[in-house]
A and B are shown apart, each in its own frame.
Chain A
Amino acid sequence: MDNPLDTAVTAASATEPEIRSREPSQARDPAGLVARFEAGQPLTMDSGAALAPFQVAYQTAGTLNAARTNAVLICHALTGDQHFAHPHPVTGKPGWWTTLVGPGKPIDTDRYFVVCSNVIGSCMGSTGPASIDPATGSAYGLDFPLVTIRDMVRAQAMLLDHLGIADLFLCIGGSMGGMQVLQWASLYPERVFAAMPIATGARHSAQNIAFHEVGRQAIMADPAWADGRYLEAGTRPSKGLGVARMGAHITYLSEPALHRKFGRRFQGGSAPTFSFNADFQIESYLRHQGLSFVERFDANAYLYLTRAMDYFDLAADHGGVLANAFKGTKTRFCVISFTSDWLFPTADSRAIVHALNAASAPVAFVEVESDKGHDAFLLDEPTLFSAARGFIDAAARARGL
């Protein structure tokens, strides 16, 4: 989740992506904290698999109060990770949500104990396809069971049990993180006091599944993918993963933002080179996004996590009626969308709001005016911050924090 609009456009990178064969060290030996669950504590997954042993990598900020009532769970997005407030161990970039989280920020680490865990199936330290399968001694690869959003949430719940946190003051996240927030509120309503799903939907649309499929096919079309056994083969499908990232990255932005930032400007000079070099700034930018992504992300994990989002359909899990997912809930909700988000358009958020209304849940909803597209939730958006601050402060008063 590179910040798309603040990332400098780097010099034209017509060079081939470097093929990296090093082991995915963060997948097995992550920075930060790790909770290990042994053979007697399997993760029961929707696929029917029982994953054991497994581990959940996580980071925290702030201090849990004596009554254990001030815990906040941040759920990260597709290619996000647990390093919400800490420098990224691979890229060295600051935590990905320091705009919203920190001392004096809407999620105030002076007041709340904030937890963020790497989702199951990812590659930043929680068990996923790059982890070692104890049955074979080599990486799971495609032998890893398919993961769902609910599996991610179950693993997070086990982490909270491990930390002695009975219930959350706040569960918050954007995009795939927002799906987890909705799943949390539906699966464990008594454990969620307040929920903030941002730029998300209660199901993945056909168009979004289509984009994900293009990304997956790009990875699998890369010979270096080696039917998913690239770690043993000593290769990495960097080209395929890079193309997948380039395509996906377009969906995180918006046409006006691309136009404002890049327009039709040329990268080096003012005329086309009559070649397939990255003539345009937007090409250079996308290539940079693809290249930097493969440095930090595992291709198989990308397959698994995109699949988890595709499978998400909260209404389908409740007889086709989304309101039934929230029946009798006491959780207070704040739903936020962005005007220029065409990946999870405001209509998706409104569908959530209408279902919560039908379930008589207390719900607030704001559509934030922004031209920055889907990734606006990661960026400096004052309206997002003021809405979050208002909602979170009021929830804290209601909880006596």
Chain B
Amino acid sequence: MSGREDLSFGDAASGTPWEAADDLPRTPESGGARVDHLVVLGLVPPGARVLDIGCGDGSLLALLRDRRGVDGRGIELSREGVNACLARGLPVIQGDADTDLENYPDDAFDVVVLSQTIQATRNPRIVLEHLLRIGRQVVISFPNFGHWRVRAELAFRGRMPITEILPEAWYETPNIHHCTMRDFVELCRAVDAHIEKAAALDARGRPMRFSMPWWFWNLIGAQGVFLLRRGRLGAG
């Protein structure tokens, strides 16, 4: 285990946990925007070209467009979601992270966002490799299966966990590839992704704003958010 200590969550250079963007409100009341979206907002530079995969009703893309002036595109599985995006004037295609990413050229976007979706893909490794290929930077968030409540459900109740951000029973959940934050760090290593920043969020998407060792985050973080970039092998 000690061999993995260097994969600390947080700023890779300073070794301290990453504090989310400066303009992040300290309260969850944030002008109607979801707090986890504001975390992403803090990571996207103004005017960037952004692809949001699994963009839902387009609320993140609309936020990025309105506050950051980004040129945003989206992929969404549900017809209702796509229609909601169209009504917001967002160019969103009905599609699937597992099948539609291979058609995008390399470096097509400055930032690719995959929010709360990778655990629902059939092949998370291939999806992540495409994200790193398509985007110069990748923002990825997922429910942390290492969270203490998840562990407690398994350890003490012997049941698959049902929590605030994992509300479905095992037999009807779309989430077929759960991982912990540590597992995800391993995947990043396997696909040669460089972790630029990382943060743990609570169940409501609020970043945890205190310095703690990484193993503690893996225990108390309900969600993980990572900012990735192609590693040295894939660096252009």
B95 at the interface (CB under 8 A from A): yes
Nearest residue, chain A, Cβ from B105: A358
A71 at the interface (CB under 8 A from B): no
Q: Shortest beta-carbon distance, A334 to chain B, in Å?
A: 7
B91 at the interface (CB under 8 A from A): yes
Q: Are B94 and A365 in contact (CB under 8 A)?
A: yes
Known contacts A357-B104, A358-B104: A394-B79 contact under CB 8 Å: no
Bound together, the chains give a CA A389 to CA B89 distance in angstroms of 10
Known contacts A357-B103, A358-B104, A358-B105: A363-B83 contact under CB 8 Å: no
Q: Are A366 and B89 in contact (CB under 8 A)?
A: no
A354 at the interface (CB under 8 A from B): yes
Taking CB atoms, residues of chain B closer than 8 Å to A397 are 89
Taking CB atoms, residues of chain A closer than 8 Å to B108 are 357, 360
Known contacts A360-B108, A362-B73: A387-B89 contact under CB 8 Å: no
Number of B residues contacting the other chain (C-beta, 8 Å)?
Answer: 21
Taking CB atoms, residues of chain B closer than 8 Å to A391 are 86, 89
Q: Are A367 and B79 in contact (CB under 8 A)?
A: yes
A386-B86, A394-B90, A398-B89 known; 9 other A-B pairs, CB under 8 Å?
A: A354-B103, A357-B73, A358-B103, A362-B91, A364-B90, A366-B79, A386-B87, A387-B83, A397-B89
Taking CB atoms, residues of chain A closer than 8 Å to B103 are 354, 357-358
Q: Which residues of B from 78 to 103 have beta carbons under 8 Å from A?
A: 79, 82-83, 85-95, 100, 103
Bound together, the chains give a CA A332 to CA B92 distance in angstroms of 11
Q: Which residues of A from 352 to 380 have beta carbons under 8 Å from B?
A: 353-354, 357-358, 360, 362-369
Listed in ascending order, the chain A residues whose CB lies under 8 Å from chain B are 332-335, 350, 353-354, 357-358, 360, 362-369, 383, 386-387, 389-391, 393-395, 397-398
Bound together, the chains give a CA A139 to CA B25 distance in angstroms of 75
Nearest residue, chain A, Cβ from B89: A394
Of the residues A353, A358, A369, contact of B93 by C-beta under 8 Å: A353
Q: Are B73 and A365 in contact (CB under 8 A)?
A: no
Please list 21 pairs of residues, one from A and one from B, whose beta carbons are closer than 8 Å in the complex, sorted by A's number. Answer: A335-B93, A353-B93, A353-B95, A354-B100, A357-B93, A357-B103, A358-B103, A362-B71, A362-B73, A364-B90, A364-B93, A366-B79, A366-B83, A366-B94, A369-B79, A383-B83, A387-B82, A390-B88, A393-B87, A394-B88, A394-B90
Taking CB atoms, residues of chain A closer than 8 Å to B100 are 354
Known contacts A358-B103, A358-B104, A358-B105: A365-B89 contact under CB 8 Å: no
Bound together, the chains give a CA A158 to CA B180 distance in angstroms of 62
Sorted nearest first, the 8 A-B pairs with minimum C-beta distance are A394-B89, A390-B86, A390-B87, A365-B93, A354-B103, A362-B91, A364-B91, A391-B86
Bound together, the chains give a CA A330 to CA B169 distance in angstroms of 45
Taking CB atoms, residues of chain B closer than 8 Å to A366 are 79, 82-83, 86, 94
Known contacts A353-B93, A360-B108: A365-B83 contact under CB 8 Å: no
Nearest residue, chain A, Cβ from B74: A364
Nearest residue, chain A, Cβ from B72: A362
Bound together, the chains give a CA A4 to CA B40 distance in angstroms of 49
Taking CB atoms, residues of chain B closer than 8 Å to A389 are 87
Q: Are B87 and A365 in contact (CB under 8 A)?
A: no
Q: Are B86 and A394 in contact (CB under 8 A)?
A: yes
Taking CB atoms, residues of chain A closer than 8 Å to B104 are 357-358
Q: Shortest beta-carbon distance, B163 to chain A, in Å?
A: 33
Q: Are A364 and B82 in contact (CB under 8 A)?
A: yes
Taking CB atoms, residues of chain B closer than 8 Å to A383 are 79, 83
Bound together, the chains give a CA A386 to CA B86 distance in angstroms of 9
Taking CB atoms, residues of chain B closer than 8 Å to A393 are 87, 89
Bound together, the chains give a CA A158 to CA B103 distance in angstroms of 36
Q: Shortest beta-carbon distance, A108 to chain B, in Å?
A: 15
Nearest residue, chain B, Cβ from A388: B86
Q: Mark B89-129, 1 if CB is under 8 A from A, else 0.
A: 11111110000100111001000000000000000000000
Q: Are B83 and A390 in contact (CB under 8 A)?
A: yes
Bound together, the chains give a CA A364 to CA B61 distance in angstroms of 14
Nearest residue, chain A, Cβ from B91: A362
Nearest residue, chain B, Cβ from A397: B89
Known contacts A357-B103, A358-B103, A358-B105: A386-B93 contact under CB 8 Å: no
Of the residues B88, B89, B91, contact of A363 by C-beta under 8 Å: B91
Nearest residue, chain A, Cβ from B84: A390
Bound together, the chains give a CA A393 to CA B91 distance in angstroms of 13
Candidate in B71, B87, B93, B105 with the most chain A CB atoms within 10 angstroms: B93
Bound together, the chains give a CA A387 to CA B94 distance in angstroms of 12
Q: Are A365 and B95 in contact (CB under 8 A)?
A: yes
Of the residues A360, A386, A395, contact of B89 by C-beta under 8 Å: A395
Q: Are B79 and A365 in contact (CB under 8 A)?
A: no
Candidate in A335, A360, A389 with the most chain B CB atoms within 10 angstroms: A360
Q: Shortest beta-carbon distance, A387 to chain B, in Å?
A: 5
Taking CB atoms, residues of chain B closer than 8 Å to A364 are 82, 85-86, 90-93
Q: Shortest beta-carbon distance, B105 to chain A, in Å?
A: 6
Taking CB atoms, residues of chain A closer than 8 Å to B105 are 358, 360
Taking CB atoms, residues of chain B closer than 8 Å to A394 are 86-90
Nearest residue, chain A, Cβ from B92: A364
Q: Shortest beta-carbon distance, A358 to chain B, in Å?
A: 6
Nearest residue, chain A, Cβ from B102: A354
Bound together, the chains give a CA A95 to CA B144 distance in angstroms of 57
Taking CB atoms, residues of chain B closer than 8 Å to A387 are 82-83, 86
Taking CB atoms, residues of chain A closer than 8 Å to B82 are 364-366, 387
Q: Are A334 and B89 in contact (CB under 8 A)?
A: no
Taking CB atoms, residues of chain B closer than 8 Å to A367 are 79, 94
